[in-house]
Amino acid sequence: FLKGKTAIVTGSTSGIGLAYARAFAAEGAAVVLNGFGDAEQIERLRAELAATSGAAALYDAADMTRPDDIAALVDRAVRETGSVDIAVNNAGIQHVAPIEDFPPDRMEAIIRINLLSAWYVARAAVPHMKAAGWGRIITTASAHSLVASPNKSAYVMAKHGIAGLTKTLALETAQHGVTVNCISPGYVWTPLVEAQIPDTMTARGLTRDQVMNDVLLAAQPTKEFVTPEQVAALALFLCRDEAKAITGANLSVDGGWTAA
């Protein structure tokens, strides 16, 4: 149902972003992949997406800390595929440390990548969406857009910011056929989660098993990790015409975490 449409997904070389890209391609959308990684592996993913969709699949190496890169990515998508209909802000990083030990450069990188990049993507994409009279902006927020955990000051600050940005943009685009929503997963089993286990072990003096069961899944009543595919399925639904009344929402996919 997305034939003829173009989806940009920031941070889509891995994890949840890759699951979004695959879900959009499976519905026939042209997809713009973005993120870091091994060049050969990224080219394999790009070719896989083009084969799945039967449409264009581009890779753009835009660094989400750089506003000029972001504007160029959106321009390129429009130039090479004809439009930008769906923009998914998904690139994200994490750093876990108590505030007194938190390196300022890590805090600033998290704010740039997890929060400011979404503002710059929207700033570049909204004019095209308004002109087309249709658009979908979706951001991967987090349960940490609604509640906090210790030692994640920068991440929680960025994700709460995403929730506010989502509401504001929804109001600005409400009469233009554009919806703006964020999806707030609990713990999803991806490289980002795996990578924070050692830091959490150090910060809290715990073993790997203790971090998995007593820290990560402690908050998730289902005691199961969310899957990237479950998150992508909701994004796909948000792109359907049936979802056009859903805007400005923060949709939890968190195994009951924020119900507690």
Is 155 an annotated catalytic residue? Answer: yes
Tokens 């753009």: give the residue: 60
DSSP-derived secondary structure for 95-155: ----GGG--HHHHHHHIIIIIIHHHHHHHHHHHHHHHHT-EEEEEE--GGGTS--TT-HHH
Q: Are 66 and 4 in contact (CB under 8 A)?
A: no
Is the Cβ of residue 95 or residue 134 nearer to ligand NAD in the bound state? 95
Residue 21: how many other CB atoms lie within 10 Å: 31
Taking the complex as a whole, the smallest distance from the CB of residue 132 to ligand NAD amounts, in Å, to 25
Interface residues toward ligand NAD, by CB under 6 A: 10-17, 34-37, 63-65, 90-93, 113-114, 140, 142, 185, 187-188, 190-193
Taking the complex as a whole, the smallest distance from the CB of residue 65 to ligand NAD amounts, in Å, to 5
Taking the complex as a whole, the smallest distance from the CB of residue 112 to ligand NAD amounts, in Å, to 8
Phi and psi at residue 70, to the nearest 5°: -70, -45
CA distance 110 to 258: 23
Taking the complex as a whole, the smallest distance from the CB of residue 98 to ligand NAD amounts, in Å, to 20
Is the Cβ of residue 182 or residue 239 nearer to ligand NAD in the bound state? 182
Q: Which position among 59, 120, 155, 187 bears the catalytic label?
A: 155
Q: Are 35 and 63 in contact (CB under 8 A)?
A: no
Is the Cβ of residue 6 or residue 184 nearer to ligand NAD in the bound state? 184
Is the Cβ of residue 170 or residue 231 nearer to ligand NAD in the bound state? 231
Active site residues: 155
